[in-house]
Every structure is written in structure tokens, then in C-alpha cells.
Structure 1
Amino acid sequence: MKTILNLAITAAIAASSITAVHATTLQEAVKSEVRSDKNKSRDEFRNPQQTLNFFGLTEDMTVVEIWPGGGWYTEVISPVVAEKGKFVAAHFPSGTDVGYFNKHLPKYQAKIKNTPALSKTEITEFHPKFSPDMAPAGSADMVLTFRNLHNFYMTSDEMMQTTLDSAFKALKPGGVLGVVDHKLPENLDAEAFRQSGYIKQSVVEAAAKKAGFKLVASSGVNANPLDQAQYEKGVWTLPPTLALGDKDKAKYLAIGESNRFTLKFVKPTL
């Protein structure tokens, strides 16, 4: 009888351990070995846990990330929502003549395929011109874009607007749009700096409002007052890119990554 009881207790402990392994919290995901040391070294500037808490991420959400690149945020978000929600990577479109897309989409696909903790990631294609639907209409609880909206803006206002319109369409009523991007000071000429990688917060707010969103909160969690946003190679002058190579490298490393706005919008319920 005592042996049976001990076995039962052991089984119960084992079951609870299995549950704990499968239930990945945001804090656990940020510290996980799924993330490379190189990616973790950027946490000082990108603050993934604080940023995602600000946006209101929960484990039961369907989350869409626009153009997740190499998967920096995928490694954090996908494991959190894997059991009770869904992570959708709205990545580059296939079948175009854009070399950058054709190079990096297969790399991301291979990363998902070869990383068990990310295996439930669903990959879709998104581009304002080629593939304008990042997810089925009304399917997402949250759409996120990290240091990315400026890419569409650099092409045209229309490209950025179409991206925000698509995000609005993908979200459920009450769903959240989270935006982090490189902040251009409001006193600088927006057109003169369009190709710099920086974008004015006011420009993003106006475009989001036009798409139908309501701004509900902003955060300084990703702010960097040392960044003046005026460099020879734009935002890529700063780390991690360091586009000027060894030229003034110590200076730019001391500044750190860019000054960023962090904005939370909602799709109204009515």
C-alpha cells in the first residue's frame, strides 16, 4: 500500500513537472536557451519582457508579427502562445524578384522547422503590394511590428497606410496593435529623413488613426535620449548594424541602439 502511494505521489509530481515544461511564461521565454546569446545581448535595448507586458500579451492570444526577419521576437512570443494561442509570422512574400526576400524567407522557414520550441509557428506571407492579407479577417488578438513600419514608410505613405489597414482588418474588435520604431524628432523635416530609418511618432499616430485605430497608451521603455537621429548612414550607423564599420565605432557603441517610441493602439469594438 505504501509503495502504491509513493508511486502515485511520484506520478503526480512528474505530471506537474510536465505541465510546467509546456507552460512557458514570458519571463521563461526571455531567459530560454532557445534564444542565442547574441539575441539576448540586445535585451538591454529592446526590453522584450517589459515591451510585451505593456502591449498586454497573454498565453491564449493569436498574435501576428509583421515581417519578423530572422525571428528575434519569434523566439520570445511563439513559445508563450504555443499551447493556448497561436503565433503567426507574417513574413516576406515568396515568388518575387526581391533578392532580400528570397534570401531571408527560406532562412526563417528553416529556423522554424529545425527548432522544436518554435514548431507551432504559422508562417504567412505579407506585403502591401503582393500579399496584402497578413491573416484572415478578424482572426488576431494582437498584431505587432518591431522596428519595421519605417520600411514601408521609406517606400511611400501609401505602403505604410496599406500595412496599417491590413493590420486593422486582421484584428478582432478590441484587438491590439503594438508598434515599436526608430523615433525621428518632431522638429526635423520628415521628408529629408525619410530614407534614414527614422519616422516621426506623429506620422505613425496619424496613419493609425486613419486606419481606424485608437491610441490608448505610449511607453518610454525603449527610449534612448543619447540618440540624436542624425547620422551619415541613418539609423544603421548605430548598433547592431554599425554601418560605418570601425569609423567612430566606440562613439556609436556608447550611444547604443536607437531611441524608439512604443505605442499601443486598439481596434474599437463599435
Structure 2
Amino acid sequence: MRLPLLATCLAVATLSGCAGVSINESAGIERVLANPARSAADRERDARDKPAEVLALAKFKRGDTVADLLAGGGYYSEILSGIVGPNGKVLLVNNTGYEAFGKKALAERLANDRLPNVVHVVGPSDALGMGENVLDGAVIVMSYHDLYWVDEKEGWPKIDAGQFLDQIVRALKPGGVLLVVDHSAKSGTGSNDAQTLHRIDEQFAIADFRKHGLQWEAAMPMLRNPADDHSKNVFDPAIRGKTDRFVHLYRKP
């Protein structure tokens, strides 16, 4: 097992507070990760993304309904499927751009109904069809910055970020949580570096989610990398897979 979370749950310097996470929660997710049905590629990604520690912050439990937003190939959807169990449900949610990006991985992940509690949802960015007051929680991992990225040639038109965030808030039940992981940009850059570097300023993120009705609750330092100076595109071989990433938890009042 990785280092105990209680020893590593440190407040982020520019933020205030760190949610309590029990070792038992992390251990429960570790059992999901140990499922021999998971692919070799997913197991390799575990070392980079540390999903046991990150997901423990959200405290998802058996029977929950959770959305994996802009899920791509569904790496987190499969882990969440194991966490919520057969009486829970995971919405694997993509817009058309992320659906195209994750097409091959999704075909393999969802083949032969191997994840029966996962519902595959695809729709336009401003109307993903998740419903209202139905989610106990949601995650958006390394995708939030794409709300502020535009590349028509790559099939990624401008998104109304406000509408996107509002539908997440509507879909969450009161008390529901949103877990956000993304590549950090230099402080004070707002959403500008999303276009050129695929990064976003975490203080901008906090203000953005608060503006749309979510309360910032906690942060964890598990994916921090002080050697990343935030100047390189996240796909640069020098930093790819090793970016400085923030992990935030928000809650709907």
C-alpha cells in the first residue's frame, strides 16, 4: 500500500484546509484497483494518477450514483464502478469531442457489458443529459481546462463554460461533491494557458466553481510536482505525465 494518507494530507499553501481521509477509505479503493480484470494500461496509469489517494478525498461509497465527466476512455469510470458496487451507478459522460478521443478505449472497456453499473452518456457540451438532483458526486479529471480551449480543426468548438458548470451543479444532489484534478498554470493567468499549454490557474478554478454555486472544501497535494515550473505544454515529453496537478473537492450546499 502507498504511504498512509493521514501522514500526507497536508494543506496546500495557498489554500485553507485539507479534508480528513481515512486509511480505510484508501485501502478499500486499493482493493478495487487490484481487480485482475483491469487492463495493464490502467495499472500503469495508476502509478501516475494515484487514484486510491485522490478518490479517497471524495469518500464515494457503495450505492452512490457518480458521474465521470468528460471521461474519455473511461479509466476513472471503471474504478468508480468498483467503488459504488452493483447497487450504485456510474455515468460515463462524454461530449462528442471526448467520445471521439476515447472511442477505442471505450470499445474495449465496455465490451460484453463488463461494467453493468456504468451508463454511457454522450451529448452536446451544454446538454449532456445527466438529469437534476441525481448525483451523489462527480469527478472531472484533467478535463476542466478544456472548457476554455478552442480548436475547430480538432473538432473542439468553443464551449460555454458557465452552462457546462451549471448543469453539473443541477445534476448534483444537495450535499453532493465534485472532485476536480487538473494541470496547474502560473498564478494569475486565469484560464489563458488552457489554450496554449492545457493548464489552468487553480485560484481561477476555485473562483469559477464558487461563482456557479459550489463551496470549495479541500485540497490534497498527492499530485504536486515542485519541479514543474508551469511553463511547458502538458504534452511536452519533458513534463508529460509529471505535471504539477491540483486536486480540489467542492460541495453543493
User: Structure 1 length normalisation: TM-score?
Assistant: 0.73
Aligned-pair CA distance for 1:128: 2.5
Give percent identity, aligned residues only: 23
**In structure 1, what is the Cα distance between the partners aligned to 2:190 and 2:135?**
35
- Classify 1:181/1:139 alpha carbon distance in 2 versus 1 (closer, same or farther; 3 Å): same
Tell me which residue corresponds to 2:183.
182
After superposition, what is the alpha-carbon deviation per residue over 1:28-51, rounded to whole angstroms, capped at 9, x for unaligned?
Answer: 111222222222222222110111
Instruction: Give the SS at the match of 1:42.
Output: helix
Give yes or no for the alignment of 1:120 onto 2:117.
yes
Contact kept? 2:223, 2:247, Cα under 8 Å: yes
How many aligned residue pairs are there?
Answer: 221
Q: 2:220 touches 2:247 (CA, 8 Å); kept in 1? A: yes
1:134 positional shift: 4.1
Q: How does 1:42-191 map to 2 (within 5 A)?
A: 42-93=45-96, 101-102=99-100, 104-105=102-103, 107-109=105-107, 111-114=109-112, 116=114, 118-129=115-126, 132-155=127-150, 159-188=160-189, 190-191=191-192
Q: Alpha carbons of 1:29 and 1:212: their partners in 2 closer, same or farther (altered >3 Å)?
A: same
Given residue 154 of structure 1, which amino acid in structure 2 is its aligned partner?
Answer: W
How many Å separate the matches in 2 of 1:226 and 1:74? Answer: 30
SS of equivalent residue, structure 2 residue 234:
helix
Give secondary structure in 2 for the equivalent of 1:181.
strand
When the two chains are superposed, the root-mean-square deviation of aligned CA atoms in Å is 2.5
Larger deviation, residues 32-41 vs 133-142: 32-41
| Paired position in structure 1 for 2:214 | 213
Superposed structure 1 runs of 4+ greater than 6 Å apart: none
Larger relative helix fraction: 1
Q: Name the residue aligned to 2:234.
A: 235
Aligned CA distance change for structure 1 residues 126 and 200 (closer, same or farther; 3 Å): farther
1:115 & 1:84 partners in 2: Cα distance?
16
Q: Any gaps of 5 or more consecutive residues in structure 2?
A: 1-26, 151-156
Q: Is the 8 A contact 1:184 1:199 kept in 2?
A: yes
Letter in 2 for 1:82: G
* TM-score normalised to structure 2 length: 0.78
Residue in structure 2 matched with residue 31 of structure 1 by the alignment = 34
User: 1:227 touches 1:259 (CA, 8 Å); kept in 2?
Assistant: yes
Measured after TM superposition, the shift of residue 203 of structure 1 is 1.4
| Equivalent residue, structure 1, for 2:242 | 257
Larger radius of gyration: 1
Matched residue type, 1:27: E
Q: Which structure ranks higher in relative contact order (CA pairs < 8 Å, sequence separation ≥ 6)?
A: 2
CA 1:193–1:208 in 2, change beyond 3 Å: closer, same or farther?
closer
Cα offset, 1:107, TM superposition? 4.9
Cα distance in structure 1, aligned partners of 2:222 and 2:62: 22
Asked whether the equivalents of residues 71 and 108 of structure 1 are also in contact (C-alpha less than 8 Å), the reply is yes
Deviation at 1:188, TM superposition (A): 4.8
